[in-house]
């Protein structure tokens, strides 16, 4: 978004409702159109209807997902230039096609390449939240700016990316000040388990909108999370953070934040036996031990927090 806006393109983003608030916090985005598509299925009629209303409004479409259905709408809207990666038999739907890399590059590089420009390794995401909006959400949630630490213990991908709930609870019990638990409704039980084992935890999982969660992160002292969407939101807000990696890799999806500390046993030479199985990128540990996360102690995360909060 920053690259496209910098060269004079006016950006409209089409997004599903659950992620639209992130794009609204991007200063480079002029407008966000929410697509009312359900998960799964082509929903051709709905896409055709939206495409018809979009005809003649856009010069180019950058198609981020690799699915056929994501490329279908720009094609039906007759947008002249349609850029995306090859995938799912959509050669005819795109006018400019990039080959998918054989290895897993950093995700920022993967998507920034759609701009057609080089030098993408230095790109950093950036979100901006008006101060008045932050004050509004703090009042709604009964929070005080800078007085709490955020935990984001969930991960949509699966348990092989989630630091254990007992570890989060042990960390919460050693912190000064309240801990705010953030997540979706799917993570409510996980956060409830942490809150039951810890003192001074405020469980907002499933009780806030994504907009409120973004604002609550922006006003926090720091955030502790797994490799997740909220981890990347914290990075884009510039919030001090400790990011815990297990089955995934910080070489692929790092928190692009100068105030971030990454904990990943794969690169810890003192950790024995070496974690040769990581990164496996599996949803569940194929070996059944999940050492990559279980062996990161609450004390180790606690020791990292003062460094990011300075």
Residue ranges of domains in the chain, CATH in brackets: 37-122 (3.40.50.2000), 135-309 (3.40.50.2000)
How large is the average pLDDT for residues 272-290?
95
Confidence class for position 109, pLDDT limits 50, 70, 90: confident
pLDDT value at residue 35? 92
Decide if pLDDT at 56 tops 80: yes
Decide if pLDDT at 119 tops 70: no
How large is the average pLDDT for residues 65-87?
94
pTM over 0.95: no
Decide if pLDDT at 103 tops 90: no
Which residues, other chains included, contact 187 with Cβ-Cβ below 8 Å and sequence gap of 6+? 153, 154, 205, 206
pLDDT value at residue 89? 83
pLDDT value at residue 306? 78
Q: 258 to each of 84, 240, 247, 289, how far by Cα in Å?
A: 30, 8, 23, 32
Instruction: Give the 3-state secondary structure of 24-57.
Output: HCCCCEEEEEECCCCCCCCCHHHHHHHHHHHCCC
Decide if pLDDT at 310 tops 60: no
Confidence class for position 289, pLDDT limits 50, 70, 90: very high
pLDDT value at residue 40? 76
Confidence class for position 138, pLDDT limits 50, 70, 90: very high
pLDDT value at residue 121? 58
pLDDT value at residue 87? 83
* Tokens coding 106: 């950093």
Angle between helices 165-172 and 298-309 (to 10 degrees): 50
pLDDT value at residue 185? 93
The answer to which of 119-133, 261-275, 280-294 has the lowest mean pLDDT is 119-133
């Amino acid at each position: 978004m920053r690259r496209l806006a910098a060269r004079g393109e006016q950006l409209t983003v089409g997004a599903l409702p659950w992620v639209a608030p992130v794009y609204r916090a991007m200063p480079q985005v002029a407008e966000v159109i929410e697509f009312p598509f359900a998960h799964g299925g082509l929903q051709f009629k709905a896409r055709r209807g939206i495409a018809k209303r979009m005809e003649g409004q856009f010069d180019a479409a950058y198609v981020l997902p690799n699915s056929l259905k994501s490329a279908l709408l720009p094609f039906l809207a007759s947008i002249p230039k349609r850029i995306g990666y090859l995938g799912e038999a959509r050669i005819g739907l795109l006018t400019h096609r990039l080959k998918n890399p054989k290895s897993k590059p950093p995700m920022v590089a993967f998507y920034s390449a759609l701009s057609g420009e080089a030098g993408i390794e230095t790109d950093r995401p950036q979100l901006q939240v008006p101060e008045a909006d932050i004050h509004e959400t703090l009042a709604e949630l009964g929070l005080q700016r800078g007085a709490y630490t955020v935990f984001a213990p969930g991960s949509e991908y699966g348990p092989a990316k989630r630091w254990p709930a007992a570890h989060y609870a042990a960390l919460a019990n050693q912190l000064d000040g309240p801990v705010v638990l953030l997540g979706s409704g799917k993570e409510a039980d996980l956060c409830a388990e942490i809150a039951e084992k810890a003192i001074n935890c405020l469980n907002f999982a499933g009780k806030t909108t994504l907009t409120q969660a973004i604002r609550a992160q922006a006003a926090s002292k720091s955030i502790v999370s797994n490799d997740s969407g909220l981890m990347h939101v914290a990075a884009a807000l510039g919030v001090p953070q400790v990011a815990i990696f297990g089955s995934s890799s910080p070489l692929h999806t790092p928190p692009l934040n100068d105030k971030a500390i990454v904990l990943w046993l794969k690169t810890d030479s003192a950790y024995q036996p070496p974690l040769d199985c990581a990164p496996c990128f599996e949803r569940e540990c194929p070996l059944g031990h999940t050492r990559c996360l279980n062996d990161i102690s609450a004390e180790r995360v606690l020791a990292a927090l003062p460094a990011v909060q300075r």
